[in-house]
Amino acid sequence: MSSARCLGLALLSAALVAGCGDDEPDTVDAAQIEEEIVLQLSSVTAKVATVSCPDDVESEAGAKFTCNAKLDKGGSAKVVVTQQDENAFSYSFKPGSVKLAGATVDKELEKDLAASGVPNATVNCPDPVQVKAGTTVTCPVVGAGGGQATVSFEFTDESGSIDQSSVETGQ
């Protein structure tokens, strides 16, 4: 075979291989999305520690997909990602998917109780605490003097923010 013919076949093969790559659909940058979720969705009660998104999602305006988030101290959540346009995405916790570590909720309630005149109380919420906006959650409390009671509260949203005005103690 002549060298010109070998060169021609090599160029044709290279052109075919290069042409195949052009038909591949663009995919979203999963690593970038994961970083943005950590930055945008972390709150006092739902601090996002790590996120895992699928790496084969086609880039298309209006497309939605779900990522799994691990929250600080053992909580978890699912995050719905919506692609607004080529480089813009919105993120929200999937309603009913957020589970907070009991210890995280305990600390927030203990701060709230101390601020309202009940210092040194120890709250012991179940682990995990299922987040549902507008639903009352009740946890046992032991006061500084050993007295036992309960504390009830509601979440204001699906991210696990506690409605400060809803925190009440009971017997």
* Residue range 45-82, pLDDT digits in tens: 889 999 999 999 999 999 999 999 999 888 999 999 99
Between 15 and 41, the more confident residue is: 41
87 in the same domain as 119: no
Domain count, the chain: 2
Among the candidates 93, 114, 138, a domain finishes at 93
Burial 7-25 (b: 16+ CB within 10 A, else e): eeeeeeeeeeeeeeeeeee
Distance CA 112, CA 100 (A): 17
105 in the same domain as 80: no
155 in the same domain as 111: yes
pLDDT at 154: 94
Domain ranges, residue 83: 30-93
103 in the same domain as 52: no
Does 136 score more than 80 pLDDT?
A: yes
123 in the same domain as 88: no
Q: What is the pTM assigned to this prediction?
A: 0.78
103 in the same domain as 166: yes
Cβ–Cβ under 8 Å, residues 40 and 58: no
